[in-house]
Amino acid sequence: MATVRDATYDVLRTLGMTTMFGNPGSTEEPFLQDFPADFHYVHALHEATAVAMADGYAQASGTPAHVNLHTAPGTGNGMGNLVTAWHNKTPLIVTAGQQTREMLLLEPRLTSRRPTELPQPYVKWAYEPTRAQDIPAAVLRAYATAVQPPAGPVFLSLPMDDWAQPADPLPAPRTVATRFAPDPHRLDEFARILTDSHNPVLVYGPGVDRSASWSAAVALAERLAAPVWSAPAPERAVFPEDHPHFRGVLPYAIGPLADALRGHDTVLVIGAPVFRYYPHIPGGHLPDGARLLHVTDDPDEAARAPVGDSLLGDPGLTLAALIDLVPPADRPPPAPRDAPTPPEITTPLSADALFAGLAAHWPADGVLVQESPSNLSALRRQLRITRPASYFTMASGGLGYGLPAAIGVALAERDTRRGRPVVAVIGDGSFHYSVQALWTAARLALPVVVVVPVNQQYAILKAFAELKETPGVPGLDLPGLDIVAIASGYGCATEVIQTPDQLGAALTAGLRADRPTVLPVPISTDVPSIL
């Protein structure tokens, strides 16, 4: 007779979810027993790593991913990257074990006390099935919830004595749509406002990349002869950054962002919140005389925008519809940006010189995953992303995402047979939050290259303290960390890099290797400004 366990694996097969990221515990063992040969268990040494690897895998493969965590403590360990998955809008099914139903009343060791509350508010749905027989259908419902807009993580708490129970007949497979079109009347209004504008500007957000609509984004910009900004602090790149219309990434503070948009009468934001700010620098949200139009597939994002008029719709479908509705503008296109200035080569290297070196040796189809807080401006200034789905970082501000996410991306590149090279740039502080991910990469023989700019400090926090005039904060320096020893301990190739040429050679070798490569690069300890 089929068990709940058999039926659940069948449902996961039907959904194409045969890769499972996790870290096992006793409450998961009855589910994981006799692990089916057609499934791949990706063993993470810590739950933060499991969640972020799954997130990277889901984003790069374009399909939801499954993470299996250990009851309350494992869910707790995974929580930081669950916050990130929520902000990243990554569809994840997170399952966690639960103690035996027969003992739950007396709360034995490893009981998750209020399992559906624990991951809140960073899941779209959290459920512990009332009956063991409901697990397979709950997985189907979890999937449908995770993939519908706005996509995001969902959570199931699964008691360990449910798996051997006899199953009900398998639930009927069903599908749901993952995009919806904008209201045509409101879209007409938006198109009319854009057509009547004298100097519109486009602000594209990660939703444009998630909906695979770079070509429509370019077509609308060219039709409107409008400059294009990336929305602030984006978790994905949104537009070819070598296109003459591209202006860069907007600053993530109220006043400076409005200053960057000065002179425009209409600001069209597609696929982003209005706006993702970080330090509080007061001012108007928009320059005087500007009107904001907002397109998002997230009703909450539409509701919390402080200014502008919103329209719900998939970014790609909305872009395609707008292109048909606006006539070509009768004005000259914006002038291209200046090329980045070649930085001076110093010892140690400046962040700009390091990233110019990286750009000089960048593989054409390379994928960049970054978590390099204070050096992000230098990285984005020197290395321009020119292809879709090739830049990933966390939307949340929570560290410990980038390194494991890069490994999830690299695994997806292998599993989809696309095989793009993956390079992570991870600050020497950020490196340590989920560092065990390196072991998984080594076990999987993934040729990820991790470049670590070493400034031996939490530089961005020093910059923030300067901006906010809060001197004397402890815990901002990082002396005495031996990245080479740590990386080799986890099974990686590793080498300290001093010059751009050395970096080029190590990058080429690392991307051809049969294991990960970690390249610490000592850089200047100057603290860049926060904006």
Ligand X SMILES: Cc1ncc(C[n+]2csc(CCOP(=O)(O)OP(=O)(O)O)c2C)c(N)n1
What's the maximum distance between 2 C-alpha atoms anywhere in the chain? 74
Closest separation in Å from C-beta 336 to ligand X? 29
Residue with structure tokens 């904008």? 182
401 binds ligand X (CB under 6 A): no
Show the CA angle centred on residue 29, arms to residues 26 and 32, nearest 5°: 155
Does 459 contact ligand X by CB under 6 A?
yes
Nearest CA to 354 among 431, 451, 241? 451
CB of 481 to ligand X, least distance (A): 10
Question: Which of 397, 415, 467, 491 touches ligand X by CB under 6 A?
Answer: 397
Give least dist CB 17 to ligand X, A. 28
Output the CA angle 313-318-322, nearest 5 degrees. 145
Minimum Å gap between C-beta 159 and ligand X is 31
CB burial of residue 117 (10 Å; 0-12, 13-18, 19+): exposed
Measured distance CA(137)–CA(135) in Å, rounded: 6
Q: In the complex with ligand X, which residue's Cβ is closer, 145 or 374?
A: 374
Binding test (CB under 6 A) with ligand X, winner from 81, 213, 230, 374: 374
Which residue, 124 or 462, has its beta carbon nearer to ligand X? 462
Q: Which stretch binds ligand X (CB under 6 A): 99-107, 314-322, 372-380, 490-498?
A: 372-380
Q: Examine residue 455 and tell whether it contacts ligand X (CB under 6 A).
A: yes
Axis crossing angle, helix 214-224 with helix 315-325, rounded to the nearest 10: 30
Is residue 444 involved in binding ligand X (CB under 6 A)? no
**What would the two tokens of residue 433 be?**
């939050």
By Cβ distance, which residue is nearest to ligand X?
Answer: 427
CA distances from 33 to 5, 6, 30, 159, 227 (A): 9, 11, 5, 14, 56
CB of 237 to ligand X, least distance (A): 20
Report how far residue 313's alpha carbon sits from residue 7's, in angstroms, rounded to the nearest whole number.
36
Binding residue for ligand X (CB under 6 A) from 461, 492, 497, 530?
Answer: 461
Q: What angle do CA 372, 376, 381 make, to 5 degrees?
A: 145
Q: Is 440:42 a contact under the CB 8 Å cutoff?
A: yes
Amino acid at 411: L
Residue 402 interacts with ligand X (CB under 6 A): yes or no: no
Please, how many CA atoms are within 13 Å of residue 218, restricted to the half-sphere of its CB?
14
* Burial class (CB within 10 angstroms; exposed 0-12, middle 13-18, buried 19+) of 40: middle
Is residue 372 at the binding interface for ligand X, with CB under 6 A as the rule? yes
The only residue of 206, 234, 343, 398 in contact with ligand X, by rule CB under 6 A: 398
Which residue bears the tokens 């996961």?
12
Q: Counting contacts by CB under 6 A, is residue 122 touching ligand X?
A: no
Instruction: Lay out the site mask for ligand X across 327-356 (x = CB under 6 A, - = otherwise).
Output: ------------------------------
Q: Choose the stretch contacting ligand X; rule: CB under 6 A; options: 117-125, 208-216, 260-268, 393-401.
A: 393-401
Choice from 251, 273, 373, 402 touching ligand X (CB under 6 A) = 373
Secondary structure of 202-220 as H, E, C letters: EEECHHHHHCCCHHHHHHH
Which residues 64-93 are close enough to bind ligand X by CB under 6 A? Answer: 80
Q: CB neighbours (10 Å) of residue 237? A: 26
Binding residue for ligand X, selected from 90, 211, 318, 430, defined by CB under 6 A: 430
Which residue, 27 or 375, is less far from ligand X as judged by CB?
375
Size of the site for ligand X (CB under 6 A): 20
Site membership for ligand X, residue 255 (CB under 6 A):
no
Q: Out of 427, 516, 520, 522, which residue is the one contacting ligand X (CB under 6 A)?
A: 427
Identify which of 374, 400, 393 has the alpha carbon closest to the alpha carbon of residue 237.
393
> Rule CB under 6 A: is residue 458 a binding residue for ligand X?
yes
Instruction: Identify which range of 152-160, 169-177, 202-210, 394-402 contacts ligand X by CB under 6 A.
Output: 394-402
The region of 142-150, 239-247, 276-284, 398-406 touching ligand X under the rule CB under 6 A is 398-406
- Token couple for 43: 């063993």
- Nearest-5° angle of CA 135, CA 164, CA 75? 55
C-beta closer to ligand X: residue 357 or 400: 400
- For position 429 contacting ligand X by CB under 6 A, the verdict is yes
For residue 362, give the DSSP letter.
-
The CB-of-194 to ligand X minimum distance in angstroms stands at 37
Say if CB 375 and CB 353 are below 8 A apart: no
Which one of 61, 145, 211, 375 is in contact with ligand X (CB under 6 A)? 375
Of 135 and 399, nearer to ligand X (C-beta) is: 399
Please tell me whether residue 457 binds ligand X under the rule CB under 6 A. Answer: yes
Q: Is the dihedral of CA 241, 244, 245, 250 positive or negative?
A: positive
Which is closer to ligand X, CB of 367 or CB of 461? 461
Q: Mark the segment that binds ligand X (CB under 6 A) among 166-174, 269-277, 452-460, 511-519.
A: 452-460
The secondary structure of residue 41, as a DSSP letter, is E
**Cα-flanking dihedrals φ and ψ of residue 494, to 5°?**
-160, 150
Taking the least distance from each CB to ligand X, the nearer of 52 and 407 is: 52
Interacting residues toward ligand X by CB under 6 A:
80, 372-375, 397-400, 427-430, 433, 455, 457-461
